[in-house]
Structure 1
């Protein structure tokens, strides 16, 4: 049924690059490719350069030229390539492996193809060729919600002098990262690869979570050599052979009784395995500051981070506190607006967290002005009504706010 997908994507106006990328994913699905990467096929990555060690060693002669290119486009309103529109992929009917149908809302027949789509989007939109025509050679890519992903000149200098096709910023895994993906080296060809939890066989879970063995995770801050990317795409017929991520969903994500489908996705960091000369650099945790949840936003708004003179954010201390908020009250949000609304319900004034190691909140609470958290603190509210956390200094303690409220009544 491939022709059905091709026709549907052509009717939508998808580029040949987008169609080719989807075809690669679909062929993996039909072939039964699992994407599993067992421990026996990989080895640990133990030796990598650290950003701190590169600061004095990587200063190419053309650094000033690189910097001039970096700041050349000041007026984004007039910049032709100020944004890149992601492609759409068709959902696949899990039973028939044909294009999913949902006449009630045809838009639900489509899905985002994952951030690995950046490569066919660059090619299919013509942006890659336009950037090359302008003489631009290096591309820095990161998740938009990672506020730690600023343009670092030492990393730019290192990447430029290395002449590598692709470099990934990685950070050291901690206990809180053990269930997330890690960097590894494939034994068959010696290439660097990413292994996500979904790619790990059940029997290898212990090794996957061993942070002393697999030490580094992908921050998704990526450096790409554009001429070499173009050469790789041309050599592969316009498609980078990224590993498939098969997500099982329903065609209407809000209706669990609707038709089961597969959403075929790829990850942009997985391109590390597409080049012989890919590399990785270990960066400080401060370059990984994603804001995806209310807990992330609470930490970011607190004094655990500070705003630099360059209007970037950085940690006030060596590590951010681990904050866990009650999922029943603070997890479900719709977009950025919903996230901010939930935060406004949580705090009147953001508590001080720079001296905190962890903060756990169970139940609905509302922080008032003057709250300082130090060490490991747990706040419990067993009722469904938000209770205030009044001005005080809390040091490595557990507070039952409901009991406290009763005693003061």
Structure 2
């Protein structure tokens, strides 16, 4: 199995359990959160690099309309000509787009940063409106496999996002 397992952290509970694979009832599959690590563990990352491939297009399974068409080849040309490591497709945000992510500028790192609604405290969600953030993450990405391999070698550290159900 290539998909990872992550510890389920109940709401408002401190972590007391050691991080081992024992007692898998306390673990959950991360969904699309570990697509990069699963890509590496499957051997596909090294296989594609050995075949001389440079970029991979990844689309979220929920984005049923995602295809590689004429526009995507224009995007890929832009990615190649600028040597981008990671290219995230965004689209104009509609009023119905509320559970997902928007791009913000991280002033400390001086780079764009994706913020998911679940990362925003409830008392600040009014700032998350379509009037403030006019673009929306489609979950379609182009990734440089060489850059991805370097990042994974150092350990991919993603923020924890609450999903209270």
Q: TM-score, normalised by structure 1?
A: 0.35
Q: Which residue of 2 aligns with 1:222?
A: 141
Aligned to 1:156, which of 72, 76, 80? 76
Aligned to 1:172, which of 92, 97, 102? 92
Question: How much has 1:219 moved relative to structure 2?
Answer: 0.4
| SS class of match (2:17) | coil
Q: In 2, are the aligned partners of 1:91 and 1:99 still within 8 Å (CA)?
A: no
Alpha-carbon distance change, 241 to 170 in structure 1, aligned in 2, over 3 angstroms: same
**Superimposed CA distance per residue, residues 228-281 of structure 1 (whole angstroms, 9 cap, x where no aligned partner):** 1112222x2xx21211124456xxxxxxxxxxxxxxxxxxxxxxxxxxxxxxxx
Counterparts of 2:158 and 2:121, CA distance in 1: 19
Counterparts of 1:180 and 1:117, CA distance in 2: 17
Aligned to 2:158, which of 219, 226, 242? 242
**Superimposed CA distance per residue, residues 77-130 of structure 1 (whole angstroms, 9 cap, x where no aligned partner):** xxxxxxxx4223343564553169xxxxx6634311231211111223332112
Pairing 1:30-69 to 2, within 5 Å after superposition: none
Equivalent pairs counted in the alignment come to: 157
Q: In 1, are the aligned partners of 2:90 and 2:137 still within 8 Å (CA)?
A: yes
Counterparts of 2:141 and 2:93, CA distance in 1: 18
Alpha-carbon distance change, 156 to 95 in structure 1, aligned in 2, over 3 angstroms: closer
Question: How much has 1:170 moved relative to structure 2?
Answer: 0.4
Counterparts of 1:174 and 1:146, CA distance in 2: 15
Counterparts of 1:112 and 1:213, CA distance in 2: 33
Aligned to 1:146, which of 63, 81, 99? 63
Pairing 1:7-18 to 2, within 5 Å after superposition: none
Gaps of 5+ in 1: 1-13, 15-84, 101-105, 250-409
Gaps of 5+ in 2: none
Counterparts of 1:246 and 1:207, CA distance in 2: 18
Task: Please say which structure displays the higher CA radius of gyration.
Answer: 1
Aligned to 1:232, which of 135, 142, 151? 151
Q: In 1, are the aligned partners of 2:101 and 2:137 still within 8 Å (CA)?
A: yes
Alpha-carbon distance change, 96 to 110 in structure 1, aligned in 2, over 3 angstroms: closer
Counterparts of 2:99 and 2:64, CA distance in 1: 22
Counterparts of 1:92 and 1:179, CA distance in 2: 21
Counterparts of 1:179 and 1:153, CA distance in 2: 28
Q: TM-score, normalised by structure 2?
A: 0.81
Counterparts of 2:91 and 2:34, CA distance in 1: 24
| SS class of match (2:90) | strand
Q: In 1, are the aligned partners of 2:56 and 2:144 still within 8 Å (CA)?
A: yes
Q: Which residue of 2 aligns with 1:200?
A: 120
Question: How much has 1:169 moved relative to structure 2?
Answer: 0.5
Q: In 1, are the aligned partners of 2:118 and 2:163 still within 8 Å (CA)?
A: no
Question: How much has 1:185 moved relative to structure 2?
Answer: 0.8
Question: How much has 1:167 moved relative to structure 2?
Answer: 0.3
**Superimposed CA distance per residue, residues 17-74 of structure 1 (whole angstroms, 9 cap, x where no aligned partner):** xxxxxxxxxxxxxxxxxxxxxxxxxxxxxxxxxxxxxxxxxxxxxxxxxxxxxxxxxx
Q: In 2, are the aligned partners of 1:89 and 1:111 still within 8 Å (CA)?
A: yes
Alpha-carbon distance change, 119 to 179 in structure 1, aligned in 2, over 3 angstroms: closer
Q: In 1, are the aligned partners of 2:118 and 2:162 still within 8 Å (CA)?
A: no
